[in-house]
Structures are given as structure tokens and as C-alpha cells.
Amino acid sequence: MKHVIIGAGVAGITAAKTIKELDRDAEVVVIGNEMFLPYKRYLLTEFLCGKVTQEDLIFFPMESLKELDIKLRRGESVKTIEPSKKSIKLLHNEIVNYDKLLIATGSVPKLGLVLRPYKNFIHYYYSLNDALVLKNKLPEIENCIVFGKGISCLDLISGLYNLGKQITYITKGKRAHFGLRESEFKVELHSFLEEKGIKIITEDRIVSIHKSNHRYRVETLREKNLTADVVFGWDRYKPNISCIKGTSIGKKSGILVNVRLETSEKDIYAAGDCVEIYHPCLKDYWINFGLPNALEQGTIAGKNMLGREEEYNIHETITFNLMGKSLKTRWWK
């Protein structure tokens, strides 16, 4: 039986490991478009701050891949899926057949229409490559502008703060709010950040960015003119589902799955940040970003690809460490 997994992140690699641990004879191929060995994305800020080394980031070393006989094809991107032919097509047009397929392509930071023209001036912070580029630039960086929502924004702010950088955070909201659950701290967060020296601009947004003399001039809707050495931002995170475009695989913002992580197409599963799953309390589909979900969904998808019928139970919170304070947060919605 040939199991093909798209995406060498936590969900994809956990599924691959689960399959091989339960069935040594299964053929497992993981196709990932990053050049690195599978790494712990959630530790990128620790890496940026020099608290862990690049080696410490490795989630699954080469020896383990070899030991379990998992074939990892690094730096290769899946372009399309053909469920009727049980095959996928890679960017260089190679066709790979599968018996069972797992889509574990994670999410991507996205810019809205207003900021898209300035995308070359905005620094993303999602991959190890982003972190390596930033790490190289750090000595030249003093002032940073950060906009966007979500806990990874807070993670970045906390990292830049630990590195002694001056930070301006721009939010559309009335207060700095990153989806935290702990009600007390949720209210305190804005002043907590201000006390740490972070300048917060509320009810505003960036409308243009220009580069002059290695610095960036940022104009906001409320006509503030700011300058910075680097501008970070994204309007939102979106499940990365470009490889299912034009297929019959059911989707909303993410790939729709049932509790067994099966998609609408036979023998195709999905797990991790790219997934949208039915939430029985909300009575709607919901994207459940975060590491614990990716790990658990990877394990369940791997088992179910081998014919089991395990179900995934929704977890709504994840734990996050902010400048030494442990917080509970909802990653999404």
C-alpha cells in the first residue's frame, strides 16, 4: 500500500511516523516544498532570539526517517491532485500515484488587497527561511513595525522585544488583542505590552509602504507617518490549500474533513492547519490551528489511512508563552 503525504510539517511527519510504526511494510512518501528537514515551527522565535540552535529545531532527524524507511522528498511542491486517477502532479509535472493520500499543507500568512502592492516591502515570519533571513538582518534592525492579528503576531513581538528592538504595533482593533482566552490577561494585555515599551497604534491600518535609504516609510489610514528598519505583517492566516484548486475535494476556507479526517474524496485525508472540521457546539466548520492539533490529527490520520476508524475531538485552546508568562489562547476564530 502506497501512502503519499503532502507537507512535511508536524501533521504530515507525525502521520508518516504513525503509519510506519504500525505497518513496517507500508510505503510512505512525504513531499514537502521546504528545503529543510522537518522542523518545529513553534520554536522559530526561540531560534531567532538565540535560545535554541538550528539543530534543536529539527522535529524529525534524518536517522529516524531512515530507520523508519520514510522517503522524504524535500524542496518539491505538489501542483495538483487527481482523485479520479489516484495521482498527484508535482511542480515539475512528475506524476506520483497513491493508494492513500494525506494533505497536510499547513497555513500561509496572507495580505489583503490594500497591502498586496507593497508585499516586497513586508517581511513574513512563518518559515525557517523567514527566520534565517531575519536573523541575518538583525544587527541592522532597530525599529520594527508589526501589524496583523493572531497569536503568532504576539509571538513575534515578544521575540523582537527580547532582542531589544523598538516595536510599533498597529491594530485595527480598539486594543491589542490576539485571540487570548484568559479573560483577565486579555484585558491587561494592552497595558502589559505598553509597559514593556511597545508602542501600540489602535483603530488604524497601513495604507502604503515605501522604501528609502534602506528604511521603510509607512503611512496609515489616520495619516500617521512612521519609519522603520523592517515591517512585518499579514492580514490573516489562511489554510494553504492551493494544491486542491480545481479538484472535487470539498472546501470552505480550509479542506473540509469529518471527525475521521476524511475529505469528501475517497482515500484522501487532511490534517493540521489546512483543515476545517465540524465543531458540534458551534454547529459550523472551524479551523483549529496550532501544534497540539497538528500532532493529534497527524496521528489519527495516519491510523485511519491504515484502515482504523479513530475520531478527532476538538481542542479549543493551546498554551503560549509570552515574555515568561504562560497563557491560554485560541489560535483561530
Ligand X SMILES: Cc1cc2nc3c(=O)[nH]c(=O)nc-3n(C[C@H](O)[C@H](O)[C@H](O)COP(=O)(O)OP(=O)(O)OC[C@H]3O[C@@H](n4cnc5c(N)ncnc54)[C@H](O)[C@@H]3O)c2cc1C
Site for ligand X in 290-319 (CB under 6 A): 290-292, 294, 318
Angle at 152 between CA 325 and CA 158, to 5 degrees: 45
- Report the first-to-last Cα separation within the chain, whole angstroms: 38
Distance CA 228, CA 217 (A): 7
Site for ligand X in 66-95 (CB under 6 A): 77-78
Given the complex with ligand X, which of 162 and 208 has the nearer CB atom? 162
In total, the chain counts a number of residues equal to: 333
If one asks whether residue 152 binds ligand X (CB under 6 A), the answer comes out as yes
Minimum Å gap between C-beta 259 and ligand X is 17
Given the complex with ligand X, which of 68 and 221 has the nearer CB atom? 68
Minimum Å gap between C-beta 184 and ligand X is 20
- Candidates 106, 150, 233, 302; binder of ligand X (CB under 6 A) is 106
Minimum Å gap between C-beta 245 and ligand X is 10
Given the complex with ligand X, which of 226 and 233 has the nearer CB atom? 233
Site for ligand X in 223-252 (CB under 6 A): 240, 243
Minimum Å gap between C-beta 146 and ligand X is 12
- Candidates 3, 4, 5, 8; binder of ligand X (CB under 6 A) is 8
If one asks whether residue 10 binds ligand X (CB under 6 A), the answer comes out as yes
Task: Please provide the DSSP assignment of 263-304 as one string.
Answer: -SSTTEEE-GGGEEEEETTTTEEEE--SHHHHHHHHHHHHHH
Question: Cα dihedral sign for 185, 186, 188, 194?
Answer: positive
Distance CA 95, CA 24 (A): 25
Residue 147: name the closest of 156, 158, 159 by CA.
156
Given the complex with ligand X, which of 206 and 294 has the nearer CB atom? 294
Residue 16: name the closest of 3, 32, 34, 1 by CA.
3
If one asks whether residue 45 binds ligand X (CB under 6 A), the answer comes out as yes
Minimum Å gap between C-beta 35 and ligand X is 10
Beta bridge partners, 230, equal 144
Residues in Cβ contact with 119 at an 8 Å cutoff, skipping those fewer than 6 apart: 111
Distance CA 124, CA 126 (A): 6
3-state DSSP assignment of residue 48 = helix
Cell of 299: 496521528
- Candidates 19, 26, 81, 104; binder of ligand X (CB under 6 A) is 104
If one asks whether residue 155 binds ligand X (CB under 6 A), the answer comes out as yes
CB burial of 167-178 (b: ≥16 within 10 Å; e: otherwise) equals bbbbbeeeebbb
Given the complex with ligand X, which of 145 and 318 has the nearer CB atom? 318
If one asks whether residue 11 binds ligand X (CB under 6 A), the answer comes out as yes
Distance CA 286, CA 70 (A): 31
- Candidates 98, 289, 312, 332; binder of ligand X (CB under 6 A) is 289
If one asks whether residue 18 binds ligand X (CB under 6 A), the answer comes out as no
Site for ligand X in 129-148 (CB under 6 A): none
Minimum Å gap between C-beta 73 and ligand X is 9
Residue 179: name the closest of 3, 2, 327 by CA.
327
- Candidates 47, 118, 320, 332; binder of ligand X (CB under 6 A) is 320
Which residues contact ligand X by CB under 6 A? Answer: 6-12, 31-34, 41-42, 44-45, 77-78, 104-107, 125-126, 152, 155, 240, 243, 272-273, 289-292, 294, 318, 320
